[in-house]
């Protein structure tokens, strides 16, 4: 592996629901993306969620670390945080074709593209 990039994802919580994004290929995703050079994890998290959804959130707590091989020469390492919805109306960017607000108790039936959310329980 020649390069390592950083990424962030957000579990956006609104009451007892969380936001699920749908990619053009139909796979499920959480809002987030790469951390740009010189950017903090917090600022990248807020920027990515806003760019992808137009929502403002507050970061609540750490959820998990993850990684995946993007290309043979690039490993992405990231962190997922639980975030609280503050304000905004969803307006998706071109990276996603749809979205859902899903109840936490239905989380176990969803299959995410890269997320390890099977053991997620939030109270």
Task: Provide the whole-model pTM.
Answer: 0.86
C-alpha 41: how far from chain center: 13
- pLDDT of 117 reads 52
Q: Can you tell me whether residue 9 is helix, strand or coil?
A: strand
Q: Indicate the CATH number for domain 3-109.
A: 3.90.79.10
- pLDDT, averaged in runs of 10, over the chain (123 residues): 89 94 92 95 97 97 89 91 97 95 79 56 49
- pLDDT of 114 reads 57
**What phi and psi, each to the nearest 5 degrees, are found at residue 51?**
-60, -40
């Amino acid at each position: 592996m020649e390069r390592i990039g950083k990424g962030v994802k957000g579990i956006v919580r609104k009451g007892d629901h969380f936001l699920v994004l749908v990619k053009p290929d139909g796979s499920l995703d959480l809002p987030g993306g790469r951390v740009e050079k010189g950017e903090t994890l917090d600022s990248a998290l807020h920027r990515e969620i806003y760019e992808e959804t137009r929502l403002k959130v507050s970061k609540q707590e750490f959820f998990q670390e993850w990684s995946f091989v993007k290309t043979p020469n690039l490993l992405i390492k990231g962190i997922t945080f639980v975030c609280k919805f503050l304000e905004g109306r969803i307006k998706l960017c071109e990276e996603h074709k749809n979205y859902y607000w899903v109840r936490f108790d239905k989380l176990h039936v969803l299959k995410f593209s890269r997320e390890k959310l099977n053991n997620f329980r939030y109270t």
